[in-house]
Amino acid sequence: MSNNIKILACFKTVADLEMLTHDDWLINDDYSIASSFVRKALSNSDENALETALQLADSAKNLGLTTELTALTIGDDNSDSFLKNLYAVNYHKAVAINIASNIDLRFNPLAIATLISHYREQIGQQDIIILGNQSDDGQNGQTAMLLAEKLNWPCITQVTHLALTHDSTHLTVTSVQDGLILQQSIKLPLVLAMGYTPEAASLRLPNLKSKLSAAKKDIERYGVADFNLDEQQLNQSNDKKLVGLLQPYNPKSCVFIEGKDAQEKAQRLYQHYLKPRLTP
């Protein structure tokens, strides 16, 4: 293993459905949600993975090791702003594998794992692959394990902390297994699926100079055909079939507290709403 460690962090952008009101929900014929007018956001666990990769690169630098950080996303071209932002926080490469809009990969972790493995084997040659535990929309929780199986690598899930060794051949991995904290020293290469890590819960913010510099950098783009794969075959390889999509509806009531002044309103609030909850 050379002193240059290659790290691949995979992520997905999803529509922030919490911005939709009940009346805004529109389910299309293919069971997708009309969300073109809603802002995109990183899946929570993927944001954790992206920041963890950056922290791992920081620690490698302190050990005198060099790293090459690559961010990879699969889908349409709505992730460009996120990829540019990752350049701004010191990712070296930003890669997009574009999929036709009529191909639904939300519940197809096998197809995602296949594409990531082909990118790694044919182009990236990374030593460490870090993913979120699951995306916010599909919530499959299987991609990391399927990817590790295709690469014949070890896979650790629910990871909470990473540390490199001085010889750069092993990674000390802390994870949560069956409610217990487990620490292992594992030889590279390996696949990691992040659990909740408070120290890496949010992606760091770039400064203005870095954002301006990142805007000039190109995103590496690939299509499924670049890996000698067929989109329709990937779609048909899914062992799951989506048969319905329902919106959870939890209506909330709003009560205006009447009173001639703030003191009277506060008294009514306490007597009618707070006091009954405090009484055992």
- Model pLDDT for residues 3-25, shown as the tens digit of each residue: 789 999 999 988 776 777 666 66
Q: What average pLDDT does range 121-143 have in this prediction?
A: 88
Q: To which H or E segment does residue 222 belong?
A: strand 220-223
Burial 83-104 (b: 16+ CB within 10 A, else e): bbbbbbbebebbbbbbbeeeeb
DSSP string, 69-137: EEEEEEESGGGHHHHHHHHHTT-SEEEEEE--TT---TT-HHHHHHHHHHHIIIII--SEEEEES--TT
Q: Could you read off the pLDDT of 74-87 as tens digits, one per residue?
A: 987 778 999 999 99
Q: What is the spatial distance between Cα 260 and Cα 74, in angstroms, rounded to a whole number?
A: 58
Among 138-147, 174-183, 184-193, where is mean pLDDT lowest? 138-147
pLDDT of 251 strictly over 70 = no
Confidence at 253, pLDDT banded by 50, 70, 90: confident
Question: From the CA atom positions of the chain, what is the Rg in Å?
Answer: 23
Share of the chain above pLDDT 90, in %: 52
Average pLDDT, the chain: 87
Confidence at 250, pLDDT banded by 50, 70, 90: low
CATH code that applies to domain 4-236? 3.40.50.620
pLDDT of 161 strictly over 70 = yes
CA atoms in the 13 A half-sphere facing the CB of 149: 10
pLDDT of 191 strictly over 60 = yes
* Contact (Cβ atoms closer than 8 angstroms) between residue 219 and residue 199: no
DSSP string, 198-217: GGGSSPPPPPHHHHHHHTTS
Structure tokens at 78: 């709505």
Residue in this structure with the two tokens 């067929």, named with its chain if needed: 230
**Short-list 95, 90, 89, CA closest to 11:** 95
Q: What is the pLDDT of residue 35?
A: 65
**Short-list 54, 81, 75, CA closest to 215:** 81
pLDDT of 36 strictly over 60 = yes
Q: What is the pLDDT of residue 234?
A: 82
Q: What average pLDDT does range 131-158 have in this prediction?
A: 90
Q: What average pLDDT does range 25-34 have in this prediction?
A: 68
Q: What is the pLDDT of residue 209?
A: 95
Q: To which H or E segment does residue 57 belong?
A: helix 44-62
Helix 143-151 and helix 109-119, axial crossing angle in degrees, nearest 10? 40
Q: What average pLDDT does range 116-137 have in this prediction?
A: 92
Q: What is the spatial distance between Cα 98 and Cα 226, in angstroms, rounded to a whole number?
A: 11
Confidence at 57, pLDDT banded by 50, 70, 90: very high
Q: State pTM to two decimals.
A: 0.83
Distances (CA, A) of 218 to 100, 130, 158, 175, 275: 21, 23, 33, 35, 61
Q: What is the pLDDT of residue 240?
A: 73
Q: What average pLDDT does range 170-194 have in this prediction?
A: 94
62, amino acid identity = N
Q: What average pLDDT does range 94-118 have in this prediction?
A: 90
Q: What is the spatial distance between Cα 126 and Cα 113, in angstroms, rounded to a whole number?
A: 15
Q: What is the pLDDT of residue 14?
A: 82
Helix (H, G, I), strand (E, B) or coil at 184: strand
Residue 113 φ/ψ, nearest 5 degrees: -60, -40
- The domain segmentation of the chain, as residue ranges, is 4-236
Higher-confidence position of 217 and 103: 217
Structure tokens at 243: 């048969």
Q: What is the spatial distance between Cα 259 and Cα 261, in angstroms, rounded to a whole number?
A: 6
Residue 138 φ/ψ, nearest 5 degrees: -75, -40
Q: What is the pLDDT of residue 132?
A: 92
pLDDT of 117 strictly over 90 = yes
Confidence at 38, pLDDT banded by 50, 70, 90: confident
